[in-house]
């Protein structure tokens, strides 16, 4: 029996001018049932690229009106592998890295928020090569870079 949840494509990207530095995030959503498309961007004056990559996913998921089946497309291995491979291990190890557990996972606040959101939405991750003529990825990059630039002036 097909899921009653809406099927959503979520394209995301983050950008940072310096690392740390002014940063921007952006996402595009496409509802597969209605073909409705939305895009949004924002940023922070002092951040890192990885935080902006995570924020793009968080903002895209938060803005969905209801629990959905989400196909996430990102050019960030950090995001894709974090969600599909690492997150459960990090939580099981008390947010520590490696076998020795002597290093903290970075951006724990954002990973915890993503963990909450993946419990609301059915999430599948897909890595796409950045800057490779992928229209939605290119548009997200353009929006994220513009958002970061607003903090550089």
Residue 101 reports pLDDT greater than 90: no
Does residue 75 have an active-site annotation? Answer: yes
Does residue 131 have an active-site annotation? Answer: yes
Residue 120 reports pLDDT greater than 90: yes
Tally of structural domains, the chain: 1
Residue 140 reports pLDDT greater than 70: yes
In a domain, 103, yes or no: yes
Residue range of the domain that includes 25: 7-149
In a domain, 1, yes or no: no
**Dihedral over Cα of 22, 13, 31, 116: its sign:** negative
- Any idea which residue has 């490779």 for tokens? 132
Residue 135 reports pLDDT greater than 80: yes
Does residue 13 have an active-site annotation? Answer: yes
Ramachandran assignment for 119, one of left (phi > 0), alpha (psi -120 to 50 degrees), beta (any other): alpha
Does residue 130 have an active-site annotation? Answer: no
Does residue 14 have an active-site annotation? Answer: yes
Mean pLDDT, the chain, whole residue set: 94
- Residues 115-137, mean pLDDT to the nearest whole number: 93
Write the CATH number for 120.
3.30.420.10
CB contact set of 59 (below 8 Å; sequence gap of 6+): 25, 27, 40, 42
- Residues 100-125, mean pLDDT to the nearest whole number: 95
Query: Percent of the chain scored above 90 by pLDDT?
Result: 86
Give pLDDT, residue 153. Answer: 66
Q: Which of 35, 98, 109, 131 is catalytic?
A: 131
In a domain, 44, yes or no: yes
- Residues 83-93, mean pLDDT to the nearest whole number: 95
Give pLDDT, residue 1. Answer: 53
The CB density around residue 112, as the number of other CB atoms within 10 Å, is: 15
Q: Which of 42, 44, 136, 141 is catalytic?
A: 141
Q: Which of 42, 44, 60, 75 is catalytic?
A: 75
Q: Which of 13, 42, 60, 136 is catalytic?
A: 13
Closest CA to 106 of 90, 118, 117: 90
In a domain, 2, yes or no: no
- Residues 72-96, mean pLDDT to the nearest whole number: 96
Q: What is the tens place of the pLDDT at every residue in 25-63?
A: 999 999 999 999 999 999 999 999 999 999 999 999 999
Does residue 141 have an active-site annotation? Answer: yes
Q: Which of 23, 43, 53, 60 is catalytic?
A: 53
């Amino acid at each position: 029996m097909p899921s009653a949840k809406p099927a959503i494509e979520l394209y995301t990207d983050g950008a940072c001018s310096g690392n740390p530095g002014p940063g921007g995030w952006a996402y595009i959503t496409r509802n597969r049932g209605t073909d409705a498309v939305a895009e949004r961007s924002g940023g922070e004056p002092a951040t890192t690229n990885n935080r902006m990559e995570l924020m793009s996913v968080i903002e895209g998921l938060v803005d969905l009106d209801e629990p959905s089946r989400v196909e996430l497309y990102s050019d960030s291995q950090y995001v894709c592998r974090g969600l599909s491979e690492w997150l459960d291990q990090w939580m099981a190890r008390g947010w520590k890295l490696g076998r020795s557990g002597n290093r903290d996972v970075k951006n724990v606040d954002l990973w915890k928020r993503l963990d909450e959101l993946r419990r609301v939405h059915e999430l599948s991750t897909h890595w796409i090569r950045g800057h490779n003529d992928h229209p939605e990825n290119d548009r997200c990059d353009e929006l994220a870079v513009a958002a970061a630039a607003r903090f550089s002036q």
